[in-house]
Chains A and B, each alone.
Chain A
Amino acid sequence: MPNPIPQPAMPQPAIAPPVERENYLNAKYGVWSWLLTTDHKRIALLYLLSITFFFFIGGFFALLIRLELLTPAGDLVQADTYNKLFTMHGMVMVFFFLIPSIPAVLGNFLVPMMIGAKDLAFPRINLLSWYLYIIGGVMMLHCMLTGGVDTGWTFYAPFSTNFTNTKIVEAGLAIFVAGFSSILTGLNFVVTIHRMRAPGMTWSRLPLFIWAHYATSIIQLLGTPVVAVTIVLVAAERALHLGIFDPKLGGDPLLFQHLFWFYSHPAVYIMILPSMGVVTEIIACFSRKRIFGYSFVAFSSIAIAVFGFLVWAHHMFVAGMSVYAALVFSLLSYAVAVPSAIKVFNWTATLYKGSIHYDAPMLYAFGFLGLFTIGGLTGLFLSALGINVHVTDTYFVVAHFHYIMVGGAVMGYLGGMHFWWPKISGKLYPEGWARLAALIVFIGFNLTFFPQFLLGYMGMPRRYYDYSHMPEFQILNVLSTAGATVLGVGYLLPMVYFLWSMRYGKPAPDNPWNAAGLEWKTPSPPPTFNFDEEPVVTWEAYNYDELDSPDKGAPHKEEVPVAR
């Protein structure tokens, strides 16, 4: 059954006004039908609301940071406040936005649908993961409102264990709890992907989005417990004076960094791998081609997940670790670039001679390609011991990881939101505005972060609130702050028109992009159990040549939302 009939339950003669068919959004009403739901699609929406909330909190902190840096003197906030601002910005964005962003929203929504399942393997655990996230989030908010933390999001010992008197334990606990939410999501995905694929959905037919989420889940499952333990150790040393990181008590401060980065480096791949999965889907659809080198793209996800665990000490080259170990980690850090490059080359090869359409999701995917490549290549600069020593703790590092996390992960997230919004909401978003927003985000992002590469190379250290001894840095900082404003507008726009489209948008057809994939073979929005009957997969992934062949009916452009 390669192409199930789109809407089998519709009444045939349309005399009465069209009755909206039952879907996951209108199946039940009321607050409790949401708060006690076990439907993966509704939980995805709960996550969407919550991470958007935290995104704007983190963004607010970022705005204050950029405003402070507009002038060389430290004139907007006190030094202590500034320390808390960048700490809370990092903690909120990393643990409460980026890590759950694509997996918990798009992954939650799409993983079961893409493999032809009714739900995730453990629907209640899925709901539990959202509650853990909310509990962690409330604890984090409470910590923020009662004083915050000033260590940087990295909690480095001995500052965190012996010196600062801010709310370390509270923030640590919040992250500890939120970490379990991430573990549960990963667990759910691994079991679901192993056990609940529809008949015919073999591993080699899985969409690459699924492969990316599988790799992400491995990191979430195996890495997150380590950071949880590390936080407990910090709390134990603070409260009970156990000798873990303090040399006076027989500990070693670098042990903290080893343990912390063992998770927190792979955590970067928790953010970027799902984004790569999204971009793969988008590029295949808007090039109308099977993805080039399917198995290479699939296994490079797994390779990134594994190699990602071998490189953490490149965060510690100047911390006083063994130079021989630094050599090993430098070499291994180069190795992780290989699977990433495999992906970029395969995406490019997919574009080659493709029938490319410049719809909004594709614009975000293009943005991702460029920005991720810049972020990745500057990562190689940082893997090189010599350059690393020169630019450690400068804005070069800040620019590098924002190119990966914001330019990569958030671009992919927004691209995915646009791509699947018709499926999620059942409504079409305004395509013109969406393209404009994609352009604004791209320009704003580069204006914000490219000057930071230059600043860092010139030697401006990160985490300083006052650079009045170096007033020549101001022009680049002004550019960066201006860019942040543009970027802010670019992020607000989608929120506005997505909300607008929920009420005023045109109803979306089941498959507005004429895309391959099981999630498009079910109505928009999907019914509670996703499929009216269990799908049987008899085709390969990304069979765009079959979809576009003349006897298969409508060519791509006819159903696309906006006339061009």
Chain B
Amino acid sequence: MSEHSNSAHAKSPLKMYFSIWAALLICTYITYKAAFIELGSFNAAVALGIATLKATLVALFFMHVWHASEKLTKLVVIAALFFLLLLLGLTMTDYATRPWS
């Protein structure tokens, strides 16, 4: 991780980190508020959507995936997403086809 200090966010990393942090806090607050609005099954969808957004922010900025010059970093991110897809997709083959539920 030490080799790409030349990337763009080196200009004002602190400012960037704090703004991401603020965005994460705002998202948390929205999650909290949204939990009290009756949306039926969409409550979970909204919460998961916000959580995904937050995870993306963390990966892109705190974990330096944005501006990553390493091909290996990209490879790892793509592989991780692919395996997450496998986990969710193949698990859904069970939940989506249970005849009794």
Whole-angstrom distance from the CB of B16 to the nearest CB of chain A? 25
A313–B97 contact, CB under 8 A?
no
| Nearest B residue to A332, CB-CB | B90
Considering only residues 86-101 of chain B, those with a C-beta below 8 Å from chain A are: 86-87, 90-91, 93-99
Mark each residue of chain A from 322 to 338: 1 if its CB lies under 8 Å from any CB of chain B, else 0. Answer: 11110011000000000
Q: List 6 A-B contacts (CB under 8 A).
A: A190-B72, A190-B76, A191-B72, A258-B91, A321-B94, A325-B93
- Counting CB contacts under 8 A, is A310 at the interface? yes
Sample of 4 more A-B contacts, CB < 8 Å, known A195-B72, A328-B93: A190-B72, A255-B91, A312-B90, A321-B94
Give B96 Cβ to nearest chain A Cβ, in Å: 8
Interface: B59 (CB within 8 A): no
Q: Does A141 contact B (CB under 8 A)?
A: no
Q: Is the CB of B72 within 8 A of A194?
A: yes
B-chain residues with CB within 8 Å of residue A329 when the two chains form the complex: 90, 93
**Once the chains bind, are B99 and A310 in contact (CB under 8 Å)?**
no
Chain A 304-330 residues near chain B, CB threshold 8 A: 309-310, 312-313, 321-325, 328-329
Of residues 250 through 271 on chain A, the ones whose CB sits less than 8 Å from some CB of chain B are 252, 254-255, 258-259, 262
A191 to B72, CA, bound (A): 8
CB contact list, B57-101 vs A, under 8 A? 72, 76, 79-80, 83, 86-87, 90-91, 93-99
Q: How far is the CA of A102 from the CA of B95 in the complex (A)?
A: 37
With A194-B72, A258-B91, A262-B87 known to touch, is A322 a contact of B79 (CB < 8 Å)? Answer: no
Contact pick for A310, options B79, B80, B86, B95, CB 8 Å? B86
| Interface, chain B (partner A; CB < 8 A) | 72, 76, 79-80, 83, 86-87, 90-91, 93-99
Query: Is A226 part of the contact surface with B, judged by Cβ < 8 Å?
Result: yes
User: How far apart sit A252 and B80, CA to CA, in the bound complex (Å)?
Assistant: 25
What A residues does B98 contact at CB under 8 A? 321-322
The one of B72, B76, B80, B93 that contacts A324, using a Cβ cutoff of 8 Å: B93
Contact size range, A: 20 to 34
A313 adjacent to B87 (CB under 8 Å): no
In the complex, the answer to whether A322 meets B97 with C-beta atoms within 8 Å is yes
Highest count of chain B CB atoms <10 Å: which of A222, A262, A313, A323: A222
B87: A residues at CB distance < 8 A = 226, 259, 262
Chain A contact residues: over half helix, strand or loop, or mixed? helix
0/1 string, A393-418, CB within 8 A of B gives 1: 00000000000000000000000000
Question: Shortest CB–CB separation between residue B12 and chain A, in angstroms?
Answer: 28
- A-B pairs, top 3 by smallest CB distance, nearest first, are A325-B94, A324-B97, A325-B93
Selected contact of A222 from candidates B79, B90, B93, B96, CB within 8 Å: B79
B97 touches A325 (CB 8 A): yes
**Is A218 interfacial (CB 8 A cutoff)?**
yes
CA distance A321 to B91 in the complex (A): 10
**Which residue on B lies nearest to A311, using beta carbons?**
B90
Chain B: minimal CB distance from A303 (Å): 14
**A191–B95 alpha-carbon span in the complex (Å):** 37
Q: Are A309 and B86 in contact (CB under 8 A)?
A: yes
Interface contact B83-A222, CB-CB below 8 Å: yes
Q: Which of B72, B79, B93, B99 contacts A218 (CB 8 A)?
A: B79
- Taking the closest CB of chain A, its distance from the CB of B25, in whole angstroms, is 23
Interface centre among A255, A262, A321, A325 (most CB of B within 10 A): A325
| Alpha-carbon distance between A310 and B93 when the two chains are bound, in angstroms | 12
User: Is there contact, CB below 8 Å, between A258 and B94?
Assistant: yes
Contacts of B76 in A (CB 8 A): 190, 221
Q: Do B72 and A322 touch (CB < 8 A)?
A: no
Flag if A310 contacts B94 (CB, 8 Å). no
Are A322 and B99 within 8 A (Cβ)?
yes
Q: When A191-B72, A262-B87, A309-B86 are in contact, do A222 and B94 touch as well, CB less than 8 Å?
A: no
Once the chains bind, are B79 and A313 in contact (CB under 8 Å)? Answer: no
CB-nearest residue of chain B relative to A313? Answer: B94
